[in-house]
Amino acid sequence: MSPPELEQLQQCPDIATLETALRSLCARFGSVRQVNVLPAAHAGKQQALCFVRMASEEEEQKLMSGLGIGRFGGELVVVVDLLAEQPPSASADLWSSAA
């Protein structure tokens, strides 16, 4: 199960808000160098793939330990299920505005 902090990211109404919230969350563990958020869909769920880079390896380790996230291809990755209660048309609007 995800920590409550990560679960709260699911309430973000759009990609820009999610990126801001994720930056703020990660800043508790050090200096955030980069955050990239990509929309995705998997098994009928709207998701966001969030790639995070911190200023140092030590900060990345703190973030991984603190939030229980992992690496994929050298990047720290968080997968967020977005707005599960939204009807499909609202999700489509969300993803078209993210492009």
Task: Parse the chain into domains and list their residue ranges.
Answer: 4-98
Whether 50 and 75 have beta carbons less than 8 Å apart is answered as: no
Query: pTM of the prediction?
Result: 0.77
For residue 42, list its beta bridge partners.
45
Judge contact between 84 and 36, C-beta under 8 A.
no
Average pLDDT over residues 8-36: 94
Q: Where are the beta strands (DSSP E) in the chain?
A: 32-42, 45-54, 70-72, 75-81
pLDDT score of 2: 66
Q: Which has more pLDDT, 58 or 14?
A: 58
Res. 86: pLDDT tops 50: no
Considering only residues 51 and 14, tell me which one the structure prediction assigns the higher pLDDT. 51
* pLDDT for res 42: 78
Spatial distance between the Cα atoms of 79 and 43, rounded to a whole number of angstroms? 14
Report whether CATH 3.30.70.330 matches the domain 4-98.
yes
Dig out the tokens for 75 from the structure: 């990047």
CB 80 within 8 A of CB 8: no
Q: Closest by alpha carbon to 94, among 35, 16, 6?
A: 16
Q: 66-84, pLDDT tens digit by residue?
A: 999 999 888 899 999 887 5
